[in-house]
């Protein structure tokens, strides 16, 4: 006797189709069902239950004991059991990093820039009447970062509206040796967007005009201060989307996104800003305006200078305008939220997903059980599926809804029958899609409620990304409140976050340099997408050769000989001292 | 009475499906069919005929008179009738370019580099025994470019196998002030890959090892001298493909591709090398090895130095190894070759195509009637469809053959019923796909048989790309033998080629600066993908601000203070004189 659970292709989407997938379940002698393929059945059951409240599905689920799921392996990864560093060929980061590490987090001493005088203020007020802010209350939000982890003491906030104004500000500051901290939406996570001492804050907040949009080519030109979400809304009305999306979209500026080479949630599909940014306008330290505002997909006339400014965190110039290639708005978007028993199975799911969803796969994100716990307890967000060690969020975007649904269904069926996924839910309506996305996007926010957070943004070969979290958890034992991992599987990028009831130097000393040495050992990047800013500047040698760092110093000197642009950031202290 | 032509979805693919599209054709009173929608019927008929030799289709075609197709508009584009330049804001190219133009094509005087001595040869022979070539016969092919348009007089060809050897060569040359011309497959079209005088040729031909391939991430690391087609074959065996493809794939080296930021046939789908190249190893002018060989999709630790070398044409360093992100091999590839009556209709077809084929569109290429004429007469390649003013090659690549075929069919049906396309054929089998692709890829070769060719590789807003060809044809009248246009519609990139029975300075004087001024007027790029090399170096100001060019000069000086790397290339003469 065999029990048959029929699943229609269309069940996920509320349509009726003829195609049926069959999962065959043997029954034992006493008439009770046994589940040789438990996870697949649970997953299917969970989906059926949530989507349609099917009683059968519910009954099937009740037989499963989720407590019996195997725990995540907690052993240290092979070859790293002693926690010691094996020096990588051609990299000098070993000794140099340990040397710098001691003072890594502390800001270096204030460099001998001029202090703002009444004459300077008079100049700024004449140039920017009503837009030269000196009221300490109004300055406060711009002096501290979003995480409230870095605080400066700037007494002047300038809000130019035009490139010409930015140019005049910088020409003046450079001639007077006044340091400048460029600021977009101030959503950075490495202390790169706030002053360290009394640097003048140059905000792009009022530079928020769209300059041009070409509906044929999808090329958008806009000022640097446009908020990402506003640009997205502008484009959606015109049947396009921005090629990047990130949790901070409601505040972050496109200029800041470019200056930090933001990655985010769509990189897997639309690639990095290095490919999609077609042109930039940049004001150099001495006020010269560098016009690289091409609106062309291809231009091989000499060195691509704009690339230097992408990801240079405001240390080489102030980006004032951006030209970016935008993809068509997809006609269909689907999101699946799935649960896995192990990270190994999650990776197998990823491989299967890439093969079966192919060109429509637009995101493959993950969070672990601890992230879900924080979402539940701090933000009251409910887990839409069974408790699992790992959760996956898969997004598809395509031009043909029927084809996309078929592909997604075939993939889900395969993932479940091969026991890779133990539960899941699917959304096609915008509201439910947003709800599922918020589980991934709001982890950062949940963490801020859990205590003081030590944040790490690590790139690794994808097979290794969770081992770092497991090893760190083992390494720290009960010294940390929470050790969680989430991030962009498709990009090999994990966000490792460690919380503590309060700032805890002893805990920090246990985390670092352990985390950086671990990363360097696997040839990872110690900052996948957050940048270096103030906080990570001295750890650059873990990911870049000393040769490369020295060249960075030469380039900085060439573009900003007085070093007035975003000082104390991005470049390591030894290099700043040297220059 | 209505005549109905039923077209099954599967007719294109030799399968039987139920879905039927119906084109309704009214018949006139005398019982003869009339064709209110002639082009659609012809297209469909053409496809039916070629694919299945259907008699009905053949009959339908015989009613059409292709001579009645409207000729391409030959008027000059509005606002450019006087051929005069309107100076673009913030660009100084006007006067400067005209000044440089006179001597633009001629090489500048030999700079005071050392000449190779017997002692130098002894050093090279000790370092590279059997791989230091001085036999003039063996050197000949490396001294002249593929187009036979630039010829140098180098007496030494070096063939290193390792990065260390490249490093020792450059350290020696830099210390002795010996100029070096790096050379990959020598397939460049702007004279960038051959010596101008007696520069030592440094060939990457023996640096052709794959260093690593990660089957999970699709990240390939290899030496710079790997031939693109060999890498493609290597990857295809492993279910991946290279993210770039170009006509010269059988000879070009991946290092040369990166050094010139090659675009090619897959850019529309997989983006530029600036996004897909993840890491580079570069030997600097003084022999230092810069290791930027990351194998990570994301790395925001400081300035992205490798970008400087992408597209710098060997003037800043010699690329010795490359890490590149490769896409999965698509499970289905289809190619359609279509004909249009006008470029306007071609553009409308492109827009429709982008909407309906969406994520599976991997190429949208075009050639004009004159290209087809050259293919027919010089290479004996037959036109697979009716004679048309414009031909489109569309490629789709996807993960689900059935879905792709459906999408392609729906698009073709729509394109034909809306009269955008007047004839076409579709290929799904590899041999026929290659045959169709060769019509696009072999235009360059056909041109070489037509006479001396003046080649221009222009980026423009896509609406403008063919107007340049039309205007040039009008402008030259009967002074040119052929004036043809083909290229990458999806990238806004046209290859304008003008032939003459022999080299013709008077003709050249009519073409230039006309072509550059035309391009600059529409904010185009005077080199979309070919680079500047020797031939286009002095026209850089048409596409780059003088500010940007000056910064290029500073960067060149920083990386190669003696200027030994690929001298006389990429940077304009005024800048080389200044440095």
Question: What is the ipTM score, two decimals?
Answer: 0.83
Name which of B171, B410, B407 is nearest B284 in CA terms.
B171
pLDDT computed for residue B152 by the predictor = 96
Q: Which of B271, B298, B360 sits opposite A359 (nearest CB)?
A: B360
pTM: 0.84
Closest Cα in chain B, distance from residue A291 (Å): 7
Closest Cα in chain A, distance from residue B399 (Å): 5
Closest Cα in chain B, distance from residue A137 (Å): 33
Closest Cα in chain A to B92: A291
**SS3 state at B367:** strand
Contacts of A334 in chain B (CB under 8 A): none
Contacts of A356 in chain B (CB under 8 A): 399
pLDDT tens digits, B335-356 = 999 999 999 999 999 999 999 9
The verdict on a CB contact (< 8 Å) between A301 and B526 is: yes
pLDDT tens digits, B195-227 = 999 999 999 999 999 999 998 889 999 999 999
Closest Cα in chain B, distance from residue A55 (Å): 34
Q: Which of A217, A260, A316 sits opposite B462 (nearest CB)?
A: A217
The verdict on a CB contact (< 8 Å) between B304 and A297 is: no
The verdict on a CB contact (< 8 Å) between A407 and B399 is: yes
Handedness of CA A51, A57, A61, A62 (dihedral sign): positive
The verdict on a CB contact (< 8 Å) between B548 and A355 is: no
pLDDT tens digits, A133-180 = 999 999 999 999 998 889 999 999 999 999 999 999 999 999 999 999
> Rounded to whole angstroms, how far apart are CA atoms A495 and A279?
30
B577: confidence class by pLDDT, cuts 50, 70, 90: low
B273: confidence class by pLDDT, cuts 50, 70, 90: very high
DSSP class per residue in A481-507: SEEEEEEEGGGTEEEEEEEESS--HHH
Peptide bond into A513 cis (omega under 30): yes
CA B579 to chain centre: 32
DSSP letter (8 states) at residue A237:
T
Question: Would the pLDDT of A9 be above 50?
Answer: no
B575: confidence class by pLDDT, cuts 50, 70, 90: confident
Contact partners, residue B80, CB within 8 Å, separation at least 6: B471, B518, B521
Closest Cα in chain A to B348: A216
Contacts of B407 in chain A (CB under 8 A): 399-400, 403
Q: Which helix (H) or strand (E) holds B173?
A: helix B163-176
The verdict on a CB contact (< 8 Å) between A358 and B328 is: yes
Q: Which one has a higher pLDDT value, A51 or A306?
A: A306
Q: Which of B407, B547, B570 sits opposite A302 (nearest CB)?
A: B570
pLDDT computed for residue B105 by the predictor = 61
SS3 of A119-144: HHHHHHHHHCCCCEECCHHHHHHHHE
Contacts of B460 in chain A (CB under 8 A): 296
Q: Are B275 and B249 contacting, i.e. CB atoms less than 8 angstroms apart?
A: no
Closest Cα in chain A, distance from residue B186 (Å): 18
Closest Cα in chain B, distance from residue A86 (Å): 18
pLDDT computed for residue B264 by the predictor = 87
Name which of B507, B247, B241, B542 is nearest B367 in CA terms.
B247
> Rounded to whole angstroms, how far apart are CA atoms A298 and A293?
13
pLDDT tens digits, A311-336 = 999 999 999 999 999 999 999 999 99
Phi, psi (degrees; rounded to nearest 5) at A530:
-80, -20
Burial class (CB within 10 angstroms; exposed 0-12, middle 13-18, buried 19+) of B35? middle
Helix, strand and coil content of chain B, in percent to the nearest 5, comes to 40, 20, 40
pLDDT computed for residue A105 by the predictor = 62
pLDDT tens digits, A49-78 = 344 333 333 222 233 333 332 332 222 333
Q: Which alpha helices (H) appear in A380-458, and where do they start and end?
A: 401-417, 430-441, 443-448
pLDDT computed for residue A577 by the predictor = 54
Q: Which of B274, B347, B357 sits opposite A274 (nearest CB)?
A: B274
Residue count of chain B: 579
DSSP letter (8 states) at residue B253:
B
Interface residue of B19, B303, B313 to substitute, partner A, most A CBs within 10 Å: B303
Interface residue of A325, A359, A570 to substitute, partner B, most B CBs within 10 Å: A359
Question: Would the pLDDT of B138 be above 50?
Answer: yes
DSSP letter (8 states) at residue B31:
S
> Rounded to whole angstroms, how far apart are CA atoms A234 and A232?
5
pLDDT computed for residue A97 by the predictor = 42
Which range, of A61-65, A214-218, B314-318, B497-501, averages the lowest pLDDT? Answer: A61-65
pLDDT computed for residue A197 by the predictor = 97
Closest Cα in chain B, distance from residue A495 (Å): 13
The verdict on a CB contact (< 8 Å) between B358 and A400 is: yes
Q: Are A260 and A311 contacting, i.e. CB atoms less than 8 angstroms apart?
A: yes
Average pLDDT over chain A reads: 85
Q: Which alpha helices (H) appear in A212-288, and where do they start and end?
A: 228-236, 254-259, 267-270, 273-276
The verdict on a CB contact (< 8 Å) between A305 and B552 is: yes
Q: Which of B299, B308, B461 sits opposite A217 (nearest CB)?
A: B461
Contacts of B400 in chain A (CB under 8 A): 358, 403, 406-407
If you count residue pairs, one on A and one on B, with CB atoms under 8 Å apart, how many are there? Answer: 275
Closest Cα in chain A, distance from residue B21 (Å): 18
The verdict on a CB contact (< 8 Å) between A302 and B263 is: no
Question: Would the pLDDT of B13 be above 50?
Answer: no
Closest Cα in chain A to B550: A290
pLDDT tens digits, A514-557 = 999 999 999 999 999 999 999 999 999 999 999 999 999 999 99
pLDDT tens digits, A246-303 = 989 999 999 999 999 999 888 989 999 999 999 999 999 999 999 999 899 999 999 9
pLDDT computed for residue A575 by the predictor = 86
Question: A142-171: b or e for each residue (b if 16 or more CB lie within 10 Å)?
Answer: bbbbbbebbebebbbbbbbbebebbbbbbb
Q: Are B324 and B276 contacting, i.e. CB atoms less than 8 angstroms apart?
A: yes
Q: Are B372 and B52 contacting, i.e. CB atoms less than 8 angstroms apart?
A: no
Name which of A450, A432, A337 is nearest A390 in CA terms.
A337
């Amino acid at each position: 006797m065999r029990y048959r659970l029929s699943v229609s292709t269309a069940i996920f989407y509320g349509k009726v189709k003829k195609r049926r997938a069959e999962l065959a379940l043997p029954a034992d002698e006493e008439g009770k069902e046994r589940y040789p393929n438990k996870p697949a059945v649970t997953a299917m059951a969970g989906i059926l239950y949530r989507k349609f409240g099917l009683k059968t599905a519910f009954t099937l689920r009740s037989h499963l004991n989720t407590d019996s799921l195997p725990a995540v392996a907690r052993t240290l990864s092979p070859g790293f059991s002693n926690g010691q560093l094996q020096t990588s060929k051609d990299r000098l980061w070993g000794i140099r990093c340990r040397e710098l590490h001691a003072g890594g987090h502390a800001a270096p001493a204030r460099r001998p820039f001029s202090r703002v005088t009444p004459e300077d203020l008079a100049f700024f007020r004449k140039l920017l009447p009503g837009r030269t802010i000196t009221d300490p209350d109004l300055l406060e939000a711009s002096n501290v970062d979003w995480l409230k982890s870095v605080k400066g003491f700037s007494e002047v906030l300038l809000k130019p509206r035009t490139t010409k104004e930015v140019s005049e500000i910088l020409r003046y500051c450079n001639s007077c040796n006044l340091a400048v901290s460029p600021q977009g939406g101030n959503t950075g996570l490495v202390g790169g967007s706030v002053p360290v001492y009394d640097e003048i804050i140059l905000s792009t907040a009022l530079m928020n005009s769209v300059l041009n949009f070409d509906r044929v080519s999808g090329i958008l030109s806009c000022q640097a201060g446009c908020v990402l979400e506003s640009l997205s809304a502008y484009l959606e009305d015109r049947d396009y989307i921005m090629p990047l999306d990130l949790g901070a979209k409601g505040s972050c500026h496109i200029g800041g996104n470019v200056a930090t080479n933001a990655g985010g949630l769509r990189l897997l599909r639309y690639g990095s800003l290095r490919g999609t940014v077609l042109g930039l306008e940049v004001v150099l330290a001495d006020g010269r305006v560098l016009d690289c505002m091409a609106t062309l997909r291809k231009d091989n006339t000499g060195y691509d200078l704009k690339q230097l400014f992408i990801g240079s965190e405001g240390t080489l110039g102030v980006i004032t305008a951006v030209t970016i290639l935008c993809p068509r708005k997809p006609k269909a978007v689907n999101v699946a939220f799935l649960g896995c028993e192990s990270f190994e199975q999650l990776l197998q799911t990823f491989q299967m997903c890439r093969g079966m969803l192919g060109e429509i796969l637009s995101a493959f994100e993950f969070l672990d059980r601890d992230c879900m716990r924080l979402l539940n307890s701090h933000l009251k967000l409910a887990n839409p599926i069974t408790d699992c060690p790992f959760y996956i969020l898969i997004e598809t975007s395509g031009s043909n809804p029927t084809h996309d649904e078929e592909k997604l269904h075939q993939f889900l069926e395969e993932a479940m029958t091969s026991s890779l996924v133990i539960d899941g839910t699917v959304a096609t309506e915008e509201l439910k899609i947003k709800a599922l996305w918020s589980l991934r996007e709001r982890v950062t926010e949940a963490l801020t409620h859990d205590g003081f957070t030590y944040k790490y943004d690590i790139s690794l070969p994808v097979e290794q990304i969770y081992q770092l979290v497991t090893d760190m958890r083992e390494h720290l034992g009960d010294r940390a409140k929470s050790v969680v991992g989430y991030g962009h599987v498709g990009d090999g990028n994990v966000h490792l976050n460690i919380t503590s009831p309060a700032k805890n130097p002893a805990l920090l000393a246990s985390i670092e340099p352990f985390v950086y040495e671990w990363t360097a050992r696997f040839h990872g990047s110690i900052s996948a997408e957050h940048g270096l800013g103030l906080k990570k500047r001295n750890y650059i040698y873990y990911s870049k050769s000393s040769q490369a760092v020295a060249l960075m110093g030469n380039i900085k000197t060439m573009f900003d000989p007085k070093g007035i642009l975003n000082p104390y950031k991005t470049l390591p202290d030894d290099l700043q001292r040297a220059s």
